[in-house]
Amino acid sequence: MILFCDTSALVKLYIKEDASEEMQALARSSSAIAVCRIAWAEIMAALARRARENTSDTEAIETIRTRLRTDWPRYAIVEITQSLVELAAEYADTFALRGYDSVQLAAAHSLQEVASEEIHFACFDTRLQKSAKILGMQTLA
């Protein structure tokens, strides 16, 4: 099983939040972890916001950034292409998704089309999760 993480799921591998243990278990049981290229910008922005809002977390956030930089090359990266963003535009309309959510969904679905293994789509947005199920992906319980 390939675990595709949108940013909300990926962050749980680095910051202890609700469902972090579930995400850690899924990551351990997967053959690979895949992410869309935009997840880098999204997670770094989320970490920067957290550091600004909670200055006492600055050192911990820098440790997380270092871990992420080390781990990033190990992830299967789905690149942004014109065909992917066109598919994302269709999904934004069809499923009433926000822009980056539709890109995440298009990236996971594109991976599903070429992968020889089942794709498990991990996210923590109800609408996005329902959309992935409609496209035939396994999602979080």
CATH number at residue 126: 3.40.50
CA distance 50 to 65: 12
Query: Residue 34 has what DSSP assignment?
Result: E
User: Predicted confidence band at 104 (pLDDT cuts at 50, 70, 90)?
Assistant: very high
User: Predicted confidence band at 41 (pLDDT cuts at 50, 70, 90)?
Assistant: very high
Read off the pTM.
0.95
The mean pLDDT value for 95-123 works out to 97
* Full domain range(s) for residue 22: 2-37+74-139
pLDDT surpasses 80 at 141: no
Q: Which residue has the tokens 């992830």?
A: 75
- What is the overall mean pLDDT for the chain? 96
Within a domain: 68: no
Token representation of residue 8:
């909300």
CA distance 87 to 68: 28
- pLDDT for the residue numbered 73: 98
In the chain, the number of structural domains is 1
Within a domain: 60: no
Token representation of residue 1:
């099983």
Within a domain: 9: yes
Is the distance from CB of 14 to CB of 68 less than 8 angstroms?
Answer: yes
The mean pLDDT value for 75-97 works out to 98
pLDDT surpasses 80 at 36: yes
CA distance 4 to 30: 10
The mean pLDDT value for 96-117 works out to 97
User: Predicted confidence band at 132 (pLDDT cuts at 50, 70, 90)?
Assistant: very high
Within a domain: 51: no
CA distance 5 to 122: 5
The mean pLDDT value for 123-129 works out to 97
Nearest to 101 by CA among 86, 82, 116, 123: 123
CA distance 43 to 84: 20
Within a domain: 43: no
CA distance 53 to 62: 14
Token representation of residue 72:
């990033």
Within a domain: 69: no
Q: Which residue has the tokens 């990033």?
A: 72
Within a domain: 62: no
Within a domain: 105: yes
- pLDDT for the residue numbered 131: 98
- pLDDT for the residue numbered 27: 97
